[in-house]
Amino acid sequence: MNYRHAFHAGNFADVMKHASLVRVVDYLKRKPASFRFIDTHAGLGLYDLTSEAAKRSPEWREGIGRLIAPAGLAPIAVGADDDEAAALMAPYFEIVAAVNRGQGAGELSFYPGSGEIVRRMLRQDDRAVLNELHEADAQVLGAQMRHDPRVKTLAIDGWSAVKSLLPPKERRGLTLIDPPFEEGGEFQRLEAALREGCRRFAGGIMMLWYPIKAGGDAERFTKRLAGGEVRRLLMVELLVRHPDQPGRLNGSGLIIRNPPYGLDQELEVMVEWLATKLGQAAGAQGRVSWLVGE
């Protein structure tokens, strides 16, 4: 396994994924019962945007770098028409700023992974399991999380984690499946993981991330899900250019199983706003739709 997310941390796809993740966790926290977060392909808890990897591929500059002021860690100024989107994005921005302040940085120098974002949102009785197979990254992740007893780290195959970790004993939870898509068949594995997760934990929330590139793989994937047996599937996509541009990551999407009531309306506001801020060429747009209802 060669994929290293450090080259892509903080890019537009991370922004959309993580801002959406914060909204889902916020909904989980509205009920007093504890929950468990499971991240099957966790990467690192914290990414240094001044590292050699980030400098070689500074994708964050077209992602979080467009949304956080160069100094002071404040979100970019928004107009009155953006108030609703700004309020929905605020908790995500606050976490990014807090991570940097915690590292002694007065400007955007670090970016949190999904595990660190959720860790900062956990209550006393909530739990998180972060899994990362890459040996070096797994060691770093374990070291980053070792002081928090609410968080457990693993280093097993991410696809097997769905079988081994579901259902959680809390009977409430969120599973994030964010594979690297560096091998063929990842869309098929994602479908299989969705079906397995629903079979093992029918009431749980699942978030599945996927890339949108030329060739139509993402469109075929969502069409198969729309015609499948799994119910309550929400599709959220952010395109930064037309999806048919070859050799580029043109956008990214999330499939959310069992989304909380009202989440679809929030995410529609968010991704439409993000498209105006993070779009890189003609065809940029944000879109939210139900693939399958009840």
Catalytic residue among 178, 217, 244, 264: 178
Q: Is 178 a catalytic residue?
A: yes
Q: Which residue has the tokens 């992740």?
A: 141
The whole-angstrom separation of Cα 76 and Cα 46 is 22
Three-state secondary structure readout of the chain: CCCCHHHCCCCHHHHHHHHHHHHHHHHHCCCCCCCEEEECCCCCCEEECCCHHHHHCCHHHHCHHHCECCCCCCECCCCHHHHHHHHHHHHHHHHHHHHHHHCCCCCCCEEECHHHHHHCCCCCCCEEEEECCCHHHHHHHHHHHCCCCCEEEECCCHHHHHHHHCCCCCCCEEEEECCCCCCCCHHHHHHHHHHHHHHHCCCCEEEEEEEECCCCHHHHHHHHHHCCCCCCEEEEEEECCCCCCCCCCCEEEEEEECCCCCHHHHHHHHHHHHHHHHCCCCCCEEEEEEEECC
Q: Name the packing angle between helices 158-165 and 186-200 (round to 10°).
A: 10
Residue 270 C-alpha from the chain's centroid: 14
> Other C-beta atoms within 10 Å of 51: how many?
14
Residues noted as catalytic:
178
